[in-house]
C-alpha cells in the first residue's frame, strides 16, 4: 500500500482487518482467487475493489452463455460478412456476363428505377417511390418481389448498397418501398439509376450480424434455449407426450403426435419434419390454433413471405371455422392474428393518430429548436403508446425471419410464449437464433432432406452456415425424440414416392390410399395400359442411334450449362402431354441450371407451362414434372446433380408422373443418382429418345379436348 499512503503499524492492523472483512464479503459473490488477482493486478484503491469487480462482470455479459455458443458468436459475424461479400461479387459477375432482362427473369433484381419521392411518415417511417422505366414491349416484372419482401436498394452502376427496405407496393410503372430505420438516412437523388435486389443474402445478414456483435442475445427471454441447444443443459428425453384430445379429426396419427409434442411445455425444442405432401402447413396451423385457445402469445416466422402467408391463411381458415372458448365474441379474428408488417398500417385508424400527425407536421415546420426537441420527445411517447396499443391484443404475429418487427416486439412489451419457425430447414442457424431467443420455447418445422438456404461463400459453407438450426438439433439430439416425422403423404403416386422414402426418410413414408395409385389416365385420354401412363419414366439420351454429331452434349453458357438436345425432347414431350388433354397449368419443366431454363423458355409454345430451376420450384407441385438433367460430358462431371437434396426436391414435385430426360451413363458415378436410376428401372420405364416418334403417333389418334369430363359426358 506504499503506493498511495504511509501508515503506522497500528493503522496497518486496522486496515488489514478491514481488508479481510471486505474479502470475506466478496468471496460470497465471486471466487476469492479472482478477486485477489483483480486486486493485486489493478491500480484501484482498496475501497474500489467491489465496484471494479461489478464493472468487470458487466463487461462480460456472455459469461453465463455456453462456451460453444460464445465461440459461435465470434465466428458467425465473420461468416456472415463472407457471405455478404460473396453475394455482391456474384451479382457483379452475373452483371458482366448477363443482360438486365436475363437477371430480372431469374428473379435476382429489378432494375431501371428512378426516384419519384422520398417522404418521412410519423409511424411507418421513411417511404420511397421509384419510377420504373420498362423496356419496350417487355413483360411486366414488377411482381418479382412480393409485398412485404425484404429488399436492398442499390446504385445500378456500382451495385453499392444504399439502404435496406421492405416492399410496400408495385405495378408496371412505380415501386413503393419502406426504408428500414437501421439503414440510416443515405441520400437518394433523381439523377441516379437504382435497382432492387433480394436482401436475404446481404441486408438480412447485416441485421443478424449486428444482433450478435452487439451481444443483444443475453437480454432476451429465450436465453435458456441456448443452454439446451449447446449442451450446457440436458435436453429432455420425452417419448410419451400426452396426446391432446380435442385435435381436429382431419389429422392423422403422425400429425397428432407432432402437435401433442409441440404443445408439451416440458419440451424446450421440438422439430417437426414434414416430407413433401405430408401436411406440414396444416400441422403448424393446428399448433397455432391450439396455442390461441390457451391464450398463449405465438410468434410465427418463416424465411419467406410466401411461407408466412401460407401458414397465416390456414390459421385464419381454422379459426373462422369454430367458436373459440375463453375469447370474447367481440374480438375479431383478424385482430388476434396479424402480419407484423401490416400492424403498423392499421395504426392509422387509432383515435390518437391525427394528433400524432399534427405534432409531426409542427415539428417539421418553422419552430424554435428547443420547442422542436420537446415536441419530438412528446411525439415519440405518443407514437410508442399507439404502437403498443396496436400490438397488445394480438395473440399470434406472423413475419419473416429477417423482419425488423422481431426486434421491435420487446420494445412494445409483446413477449411471445412460443416461437414457431416454418420452413426452418431453409434458414441458416444464426438467422434462426436472432428470432428463436425471443421466446422461451421453440418449434421448428420443415424438412432438412430438402434444399437448405443458398450460401455462396465457400468459407461460409466450411463454417456450416448452410446447416440450419433444425437440421443440427434433429441430428445431434435424435436420441431424445426431439424430431417428429410426418409419415403419410397425400401428394404423389407411391412409385414416385419410393426413392425419396428410401433415401431420406428411413423408408417410413406411406402414400395415402387416395393418391397411392393415381396416374395420368385419371385426368387425360391416355389409356391405362399405355406406355405413357407410367408414374416413373426416363428418356435415356445415351441410347440415341448413330449420334455422330453428339446431339445431347452439354454447352457452357453465362456461368451455367444448357443442353439443346434435351431441350428439344422436353418440348416434344410437353406437346404430347397437352395433346392428350393435360392442361399446361398442371405441367412443370425443371432443371438444375438456369441456362437450360432460359433455353426451354425461348422455344416452348405453351405459355401456361411452368419452366424454372429446381431451387425456384421448391414448395410447389404439379401433376407432371419433366426434369432435364443437362450434364452430358466425357469426364462425367455432374455439378449441381451431386446434391441429393436437389434431386429429392425435383422428384417430389410430381403427383402422377415424373419424367427424367438425361444420360444414364452420367448417373452411374454418383450413389444417389445410381439408386434413382435403379428405382426407375424397377418401378418405371426407361426409353430411348426415338420413343418420342411413337408417342406422337399414338397421341395423334386420341381426342384433343383439354377436358376429359366433357368428352366422357358426351
Beta bridge partners, 662, equal 540
628-667 pLDDT tens trace: 999 999 999 999 899 999 999 999 999 999 999 999 999 9
The model's pLDDT over 107-161, given as tens digits with 9 standing for 90+, comes to: 778 888 999 998 877 766 788 999 987 654 556 666 667 666 778 898 888 888 8
Spelled out in words, what is the top-level CATH class assigned to the domain 509-713? alpha beta
Measured over the CA atoms of residue 126, residue 127, residue 133 and residue 134, the dihedral's sign is positive
> What is the per-residue pLDDT for 40?
35
Give the residue carrying C-alpha cell 431453409.
426
Which residue, among 42, 190, 50, has the nearest Cα to 116 in the 3D structure? 190
pLDDT at position 408 is 80
pLDDT at 44 over 70: no
Where residue 524 falls among pLDDT bands split at 50, 70, 90?
A: very high
Whole-number Å distance between alpha carbons of 456 and 89: 10
**71-96 pLDDT per residue, tens:** 888 888 888 888 888 887 887 877 77
Which residues make Cβ contacts (< 8 Å) with residue 451, sequence separation at least 6? 426, 614, 615, 618, 643, 645, 646, 649
pLDDT score at 36 = 35
More confident residue, 482 or 619: 482
> Tens digits of per-residue pLDDT, 410-435?
888 889 999 999 999 999 898 898 88
pLDDT number for residue 27: 53
**pLDDT at residue 222 above 50?**
yes
Is the pLDDT assigned to residue 324 strictly greater than 80? no
- Residues 340, 344, 345, 348, CA torsion sign: positive
**Is there a shared CATH topology between the 220-270+279-456 domain and the 509-713 domain?**
yes
Whether the CA torsion 467, 473, 477, 483 is positive or negative: it is negative
Give pTM, 2 decimals: 0.81
515: helix, strand or coil: coil
Helix (H) or strand (E) holding 640: none
CB 299 within 8 A of CB 281: no
Asked whether the CA dihedral 213, 217, 218, 224 is positive or negative, the reply is: negative
Predicted confidence (pLDDT) at residue 200 exceeds the cutoff of 60: no
> Contact at 8 Å (CB) between 64 and 218?
yes
Sequence spans of domains, the chain: 9-59, 78-207, 220-270+279-456, 509-713
CATH of region 78-207, choose from 2.40.30.270, 1.10.10.60, 3.30.565.10, 3.40.50.2300: 2.40.30.270
> Residue 678: how many CB atoms within 10 A of its CB?
12
For residue 139, give the H/E element and its range.
Answer: none
Residue-averaged pLDDT of the chain: 83
Q: How many helices (H) and strands (E) does the chain have?
A: 27, 23
Element (H, E) at 666: helix 664-667
Mean pLDDT computed over 539-552: 80
In three state form, how does the secondary structure of 311-357 look?
Answer: HHHHHHHHHHCCCCCCCCCCCCHHHHEEEHHHHHHHHHHCCCHHHHH
Digit-coded pLDDT (tens) for 167-181? 878 887 888 888 876
Determine which of 195-199, 307-311, 505-509 has the lowest per-residue pLDDT on average: 195-199
The residues, any chain, with a CB within 8 Å of residue 296's CB and separated by 6 or more, are 395, 417, 418
- 3-state class (DSSP) for residue 441: strand
Three-state SS for 229-247 is HCCCCCCCCCCCCCCCCCC
Say how many CA atoms lie within 13 Å of 299 toward its Cβ.
Answer: 30
Rounded to the nearest angstrom, the gap between the alpha carbon of residue 473 and the centroid of all alpha carbons in its chain is: 17
Sequence-distant (6+) residues with CB within 8 A of 497 are 489, 509, 511, 652
C-alpha cell of residue 11: 493503522
Give the pairing type, strands 109-121 and 194-198.
antiparallel
Q: Is the pLDDT of residue 705 over 50?
A: no
Give the model's pLDDT for residue 551.
Answer: 82
What's the start-to-end Cα distance of the chain, in Å? 109
* Cβ burial, residue 233 (10 Å; 0-12/13-18/19+): middle
Q: What backbone torsions phi and psi does residue 382 show, to the nearest 5 degrees?
A: -65, -40
pLDDT value at position 345?
64
Cα–Cα dist 560/90, whole Å: 13
In the numeric block, the cell 390456414 is attached to 314
Contacts 24+ apart (CB under 8 A), 235-244: 235/268, 235/269, 235/477, 235/480, 235/482, 236/266, 236/267, 236/268, 236/480, 237/479, 237/480, 237/481, 238/264, 238/266, 238/267, 238/480, 238/481, 239/481, 241/267, 244/290
- Of 112, 139, 133, 135, the closest CA to residue 196 belongs to 112
pLDDT of residue 657: 98
358 vs 203: which has the higher pLDDT: 358
Average pLDDT value for residue range 209-222: 69
Pairing mode, strands 483-485 and 441-446:
unpaired
CATH number of 220-270+279-456: 3.40.50.300
E strand or H helix at 171, and its extent? none
Using DSSP's 3-state secondary structure scheme, residue 565 falls into helix
Amino acid at each position: 500500500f506504499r503506493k498511495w499512503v504511509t501508515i503506522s503499524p497500528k493503522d496497518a492492523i486496522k486496515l488489514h482487518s478491514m481488508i479481510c472483512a471486505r474479502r470475506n464479503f466478496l468471496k460470497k459473490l465471486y471466487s476469492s482467487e479472482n478477486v485477489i488477482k483483480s486486486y493485486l493486478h489493478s491500480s484501484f484503491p482498496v475501497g474500489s475493489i467491489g465496484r471494479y469487480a461489478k464493472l468487470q462482470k458487466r463487461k462480460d455479459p456472455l459469461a453465463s452463455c455456453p462456451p460453444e455458443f460464445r465461440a459461435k458468436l465470434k465466428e458467425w459475424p465473420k461468416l456472415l460478412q463472407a457471405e455478404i461479400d460473396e453475394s455482391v461479387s456474384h451479382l457483379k459477375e452475373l452483371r458482366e456476363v448477363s443482360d438486365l432482362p436475363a437477371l430480372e427473369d431469374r428473379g435476382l433484381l429489378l432494375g431501371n428505377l428512378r426516384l419519384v419521392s422520398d417522404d418521412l411518415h410519423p409511424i411507418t417511417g421513411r417511404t420511397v417511390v421509384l419510377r420504373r422505366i420498362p423496356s419496350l414491349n417487355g413483360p411486366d416484372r414488377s411482381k418479382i418481389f412480393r409485398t412485404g419482401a425484404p429488399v436492398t436498394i442499390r446504385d445500378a452502376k456500382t451495385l453499392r448498397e444504399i439502404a435496406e427496405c421492405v416492399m410496400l407496393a408495385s405495378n408496371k410503372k412505380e415501386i413503393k418501398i419502406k426504408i428500414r430505420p437501421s439503414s440510416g438516412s443515405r441520400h437518394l437523388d433523381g439523377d441516379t439509376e437504382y435497382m432492387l435486389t433480394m436482401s436475404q443474402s446481404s441486408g438480412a445478414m447485416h441485421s443478424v450480424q449486428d444482433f450478435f456483435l452487439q451481444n443483444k442475445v443475453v437480454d432476451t427471454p429465450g436465453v435458456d434455449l441456448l443452454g439446451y441447444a449447446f449442451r450446457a443443459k440436458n435436453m429432455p428425453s420425452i417419448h410419451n407426450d400426452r396426446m391432446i384430445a380435442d385435435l381436429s379429426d382431419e389429422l392423422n396419427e403422425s400429425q397428432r403426435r407432432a402437435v401433442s409434442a409441440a404443445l408439451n411445455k416440458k419440451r424446450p425444442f421440438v422439430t417437426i419434419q414434414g416430407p413433401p405432401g405430408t401436411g406440414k402447413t396444416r400441422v403448424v396451423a393446428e399448433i397455432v390454433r391450439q396455442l390461441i385457445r390457451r391464450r398463449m402469445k405465438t410468434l410465427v416466422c418463416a424465411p419467406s413471405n410466401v411461407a408466412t402467408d401460407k401458414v397465416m391463411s390456414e390459421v385464419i381458415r381454422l379459426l373462422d371455422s369454430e367458436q373459440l372458448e375463453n375469447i370474447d365474441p367481440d374480438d375479431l379474428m383478424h385482430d388476434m392474428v396479424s402480419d407484423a408488417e401490416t400492424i403498423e398500417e392499421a395504426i392509422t385508424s387509432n383515435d390518437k393518430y391525427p394528433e400524432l400527425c399534427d405534432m409531426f407536421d409542427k415539428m417539421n415546420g418553422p419552430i424554435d429548436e428547443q420547442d422542436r426537441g420537446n415536441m419530438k420527445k412528446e411525439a415519440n411517447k405518443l407514437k410508442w403508446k399507439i404502437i403498443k396499443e396496436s400490438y397488445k391484443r394480438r395473440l399470434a404475429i406472423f413475419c419473416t425471419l429477417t423482419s425488423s418487427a422481431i426486434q421491435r416486439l420487446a420494445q412494445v412489451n409483446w413477449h411471445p410464449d412460443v416461437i414457431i419457425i416454418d420452413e426452418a430447414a431453409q434458414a441458416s442457424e444464426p438467422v434462426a437464433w436472432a428470432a428463436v431467443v425471443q421466446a422461451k420455447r421453440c418449434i421448428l418445422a420443415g424438412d432438412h432432406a430438402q434444399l437448405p438456404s443458398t450460401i455462396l461463400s465457400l468459407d461460409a459453407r466450411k463454417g456450416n452456415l448452410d446447416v440450419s438450426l433444425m437440421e443440427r438439433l434433429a441430428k445431434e439430439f435424435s436420441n431424445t425424440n426431439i424430431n417428429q416425422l410426418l409419415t403419410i403423404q397425400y401428394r404423389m403416386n407411391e412409385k414416385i414416392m419410393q426413392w425419396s422414402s428410401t433415401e431420406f426418410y428411413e423408408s417410413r413414408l406411406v402414400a395415402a390410399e387416395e393418391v397411392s395409385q393415381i396416374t395420368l389416365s385419371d385426368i387425360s385420354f391416355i389409356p391405362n395400359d399405355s406406355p405413357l401412363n407410367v408414374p416413373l419414366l426416363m428418356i435415356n439420351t445415351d441410347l440415341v442411334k448413330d449420334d455422330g454429331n453428339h446431339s445431347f452434349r452439354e454447352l457452357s453458357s453465362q456461368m451455367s450449362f444448357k443442353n439443346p438436345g434435351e431441350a428439344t425432347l422436353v418440348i416434344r414431350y410437353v406437346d404430347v402431354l397437352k395433346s392428350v388433354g393435360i392442361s399446361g397449368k398442371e405441367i412443370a419443366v425443371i432443371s438444375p441450371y438456369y441456362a437450360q431454363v432460359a433455353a426451354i423458355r425461348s422455344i416452348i409454345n405453351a405459355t401456361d407451362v411452368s419452366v424454372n430451376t429446381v431451387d425456384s420450384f421448391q414448395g410447389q407441385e404439379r401433376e407432371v414434372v419433366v426434369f432435364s438433367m443437362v450434364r452430358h460430358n466425357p469426364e462425367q462431371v455432374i455439378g449441381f446433380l451431386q446434391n441429393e437434396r436437389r434431386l429429392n426436391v425435383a422428384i417430389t414435385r410430381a403427383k402422377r408422373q415424373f419424367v427424367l430426360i438425361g444420360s444414364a451413363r452420367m448417373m452411374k458415378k454418383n450413389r444417389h443418382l445410381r439408386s434413382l436410376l435403379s428405382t426407375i428401372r424397377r418401378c418405371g420405364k426407361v426409353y430411348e429418345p426415338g420413343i418420342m416418334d411413337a408417342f406422337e403417333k399414338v397421341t395423334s389418334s386420341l381426342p384433343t379436348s383439354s377436358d376429359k369430363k366433357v368428352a366422357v359426358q358426351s
